[in-house]
Structure 1
Amino acid sequence: MTAGSAGVELVGDERVMAGPYRVAHAAAWCVGRVTAAAGELLRERGTDPGPVSVDVRHAAEAFRSERHLRVDGAFPGEMWAPLSGDYRAADGWVRLHCNYPHHEAAVRTALGDDVAGEVATLPAAVVVAAVLAAGGAAAALRSPGDWRAHPQGAAVAAEPLVSVERIGDGPARPLPRADRPLAGVRVLELTHVIAGPVCGRTLAAHGADVLHVGAAHLPAVPAAVIDTGFGKRTCHLDLRSPEGRSALSGLLADADVMVQSFRPDSLPGKGFGSNDLPPGKILVSLSAYGHSGPWRTRRGFDSLVQLATGIAHRDGVDQPVPLPAQALDHGTGWLAAYGVLTALRRRAAAGGTWHVRVSLARTAHWLDRLGRVESAEHGKPVDAYLSQMDSPFGTVRHVRFPGTLPGSPPRWDHGPRTPGGDPPAWW
């Protein structure tokens, strides 16, 4: 039992996940910061939050919630496509991300049908460059030292872990008395796996009205959609069309927060960038490799960022070693939620238009700087952290939301819903 930051009590031993990185501690710290911030907002809304605490093991398992997901007793599809994985190159290792059909097509365009055979003949940097040029997603394994010396590594290290920046004027918007931290707060979520949806799922558990905006033509990973869909409604809009953009503008006019994980410069091209925000809104931007530097627009996913930043590197081990959870994704999602709570409190007191920015690479930098603790898998059953909920998909087993806030226990009001099954409107 240890004391955490911001007056949060962390309960339990952090050495419950295999590997040297302090993943369980990072999970508990993120959950603690969000829960404490939710408690302060609740206090400002007239409800005593009570003492905040975090069960470290519970937080750690929430950071790999997708592993515990079951629908009617079975796992609802694979998280990884067959072609996704680590490949030995002529001078090191490369990871290819092929979970979406267009990314798999890009890999085959760049490398042909014998992907492993072609990669083995080429330097890792050549493989990555070819895949990226074809519109795919890939990363080469680096050591932490090599990443720190890289221009992108230096750019990321100079960025805040969570940037909460006032970018415009707007009236103060005090929140009325309520018994939940985010009651009455409307959140538009334009995101895909996993960090952005985790942010929306977290805000929903503290009472926000979260509307996920997807599109029928975009691919998705069903298991991830179900796992991160708790507490949200979900609609489809085609932002390629004037009608879709007009509908999104109408939703944004009545929203408090918009969370987006489009690649940098993509959403502004559709008229929804930080310079396009109506006064008083809060924009949250999540990226893979940071918001500055030469890679700011590069496609990336948790598994790729682990290799690129050296997180997957181990001295004396001739292959990438992944973290025991997709902690960069989950951590970044929780940090984004913390940024939203911070921006809401600042807007309530001083007004303004706000931009929250986080990235997987900056979360990796933070995790690296937490130090090392040799750990092994705890091995004890996690049943105490699991629950069930009905949904259109069936009975969903899931990890309960972590973090203790006695004055308003976080909860999801309903299970995941069918993608696109709700109207593009606020309740």
Structure 2
Amino acid sequence: MTPELALKHIWTLAGCDPVALHTVSLSGGVGDADLDLDLDPDPGLPSVYRVGSLASATIAATGLAAAEYWRLRSGRRQHVTVQMRRALAAFRSERYLRVDDGPPPVLRDPVTGFYETGDARWIQLHTNFAHHLQGVLAVLGCENDRAAVAAAIRHWDGATLDRTLADAGLCAALIRTPDEWAALEQAKALAGMPLFEIERIGDAPPEPPRDTNPGSLAAVGSEVGTDRPLAGVRVLDLSRIIAGPVAGRALAHHGADVLMINGPHLPNIAPLVIDNSRGKRSALVDLRDMAGRATLRELAREADVFLQAYRPGALAARGFGPDELARLRPGIVYVSVCAYGDTGPWAQRRGFDSLVQSASGIAWTERAVAGGVEPRHLPCQALDHATGYLAAFAAMVALARRAREGGSWHVKVSLAQTGRWLQSFGLVADGQQVPDVSLDEVRDCVASVPSEFGRVLAVQPAEELEETPAFYALPPTRVGAHEARWL
């Protein structure tokens, strides 16, 4: 699968104008001039999977959707360019993040990682949230120490521990082969689903792109006679960690007014807050009480996009499911991001990118090719980032449909569906021999900005639009720094 074919698949699946594909240029792997000519440059990073094609295609689709939405306002097409090396830098944005010329806060808890079970299987624990860590330790009956956890897990059958932790609402995944994953009912449920869905869920009159108030956030940095693609679009971002926040960040760097909504009791991971809050404002709203739900309803009445990454059904239980939002705000674009899809026996299972890699055979395949003992993940959070860009892309496609034909829309994406698509690309011979890429090698892909966290060095948008360049109008912001209101 080449980046061009992958982009065509995304664009065609969404029913977009095929003529627009002629306005996109995709090029090059990371340092492709320096690669051994016997190696396929597609991965761009040490992996047997075609992560370069995945990164280039999903980011190009996002940029092209932004350009097409801008065409609705301006009547003009513009060219979109994506270099694979820049796309892969964006897919590793949290890895290249720096604060005051030093490393950002710690990303992962020491207990997170792979462990061998008593039946010679491997399992991955994900304990980056304190309550998940404490829950795992309680199940294992051991101290908060990696050696103690390893010793405890050696007394467990792998499949039993995987099921026990999942039933307890904790985050883990047994390392499975691709065939073992394909035999599960969850994989069978996903096999009949497309990469993403854009479904009309209600009637509403057409809403063409709004004129922009020159003093608004969306117009910051705009030049006379130009505008940003998503100027005037209001996005509520109810997501944390990577996939959902990347979607909101992509909408922000094309000009949307993105307001992050966090619960005061919900945990976050500091470096991901810094990386993924760029271009956004951030407010606290407690959906556990009536006042908080009333606040969110008022915000939703004036929103264009409602982006959420809760487990399927969780927000509906609070009165904020897609059908409720379509009644509250006809014309809403409701975006759902989840781990394992919204159907099948694992729909309610908690998951993260690395866990989906472990469960679905990606980590097993990387290890098998490397010839090592421990499982091995992709060299970036590729499922998170790709799913985030797909969510932003599909949201913009839905906004364009709303502009032309009206309606309320529901976009659905999941990490597992994205992972399944990546696995369909095929493997790259000797892909793990591609050298890793340091921050110094992507200095042209990053920029620094002063913020309340210090001076933050971070990866810039990878898609280049010739008339409406993508950029962040706001620096990173702490959780809850702003009022829960629209500008």
TM-score for both structures, normalised by structure 1: 0.97
Task: Pick one of 326, 342, 352 that aligns with 1:291.
Answer: 342
Q: How does 1:12-411 map onto structure 2 within 5 Å? A: 12-13=28-29, 14-46=42-74, 48-91=76-119, 92-113=121-142, 114-176=148-210, 179-277=227-325, 278=328, 279-314=330-365, 315=368, 317-373=372-428, 374-375=430-431, 376-377=434-435, 379=437, 381-411=441-471
Structure 1 alignment gaps of length 5 or more: none
**Post-superposition offset of 1:378:** 5.4
Bigger shift: residues 174-183 or 59-68 = 174-183
Moved more, 11-20 or 237-246: 11-20
Measure how far apart 1:168 and its partner are. 1.0
- On the 8 A contact 1:49/1:405 being kept in 2, the answer is no
Bigger proportion of residues as helix: 2
**What are the superposed Cα offsets for residues 364-401 of structure 1, whole Å, 9 maximum, x if unpaired?**
00000011224312547111111101111111000111
- Name the CA shift for 1:2/1:320 in 2 (closer, same or farther; >3 Å): closer
Question: Structure 1 residue 418: deviation in Å?
Answer: 1.6
The aligned amino acid for 2:424 is R
TM-score (norm 2): 0.85
Give, in whole Å, the separation in 2 of the partners of 1:289 and 1:203.
24
Other-structure match for 2:486: 426
Q: Confirm or deny: 8 A CA contact 1:32 1:403 kept in the other structure.
A: yes
C-alpha change, 1:115 and 1:84, in structure 2 (3 Å) is: same
Structure 1 segments (4+ residues) deviating >4 Å:
1-4
Shift, 1:127, TM fit = 1.1
Alpha-carbon distance in structure 1 between the residues aligned to 2:446 and 2:199: 37
Aligned sequence identity (%):
43
Corresponding letter in the other structure for 1:150: L
Hey, what's the Cα distance between the residues in 1 that align with 2:3 and 2:391? Answer: 25
Q: CA deviation at 1:132?
A: 2.2
The Cα shift of 1:135 comes to: 2.7
Q: What amino acid sits opposite 2:125 in the alignment? A: L
Match of 2:260, SS state, is: strand
Shift in Å, 1:158:
1.5
CA distance in 2, matches of 1:268, 1:177: 33
Query: Which ranges of structure 2 fall in alignment gaps of 5 or more residues?
Result: 9-20, 30-41, 143-147, 213-226
What is the rounded CA distance, in whole Å, between the counterparts of 2:395 and 2:130 in structure 1?
A: 33
Which range is displaced more, 327-336 or 310-319? 310-319
RMSD in angstroms over aligned alpha carbons?
A: 1.5
Alpha-carbon separation, structure 2, partners of 1:341 and 1:40: 9
Q: 2:27: which partner in 1? A: 11
Q: Residue in 1 aligned with 2:12?
A: none
With 245-254 and 172-181 compared, the bigger mean Cα shift is at 172-181
Deviation track 1:67-125 (CA, whole Å, cap 9, x = no partner) reads: 11011112221111011111111231111111111101110111011321121121111
Deviations 1:174-215 (A, max 9, x none): 114562110000000000111000000000000000000002
Displacement of 1:137 after TM fit? Answer: 0.8
One-letter code of the match for 1:347? R
Indicate how the Cα distance of structure 1 residues 141 and 32 shifts in structure 2: closer, same or farther if over 3 A, else same: same
CA contact (8 A) 1:88 1:119 kept: yes
Alignment check: 8 A CA contact 1:89 1:121 kept: yes
Distance 2:408 2:231 in 1: 20
Deviations 1:387-422 (A, max 9, x none): 101111111000111111111001100111121010
What is the distance in 1 between the residues matched to 2:437 and 2:331? Answer: 48
Does the 8 A contact of 1:86 with 1:93 survive in 2?
yes
In structure 2, distance between residues paired with 1:47 and 1:120? 64
Helix, strand or coil for the counterpart of 1:86? strand
SS in 2 for 1:9: strand
* Aligned residues between the structures: 427
Change in 2 beyond 3 A, CA 1:15/1:304: closer
Instruction: Give the AA of the match of 1:271.
Output: G
* Kept after mapping to 2: 8 A contact 1:283/1:354: yes
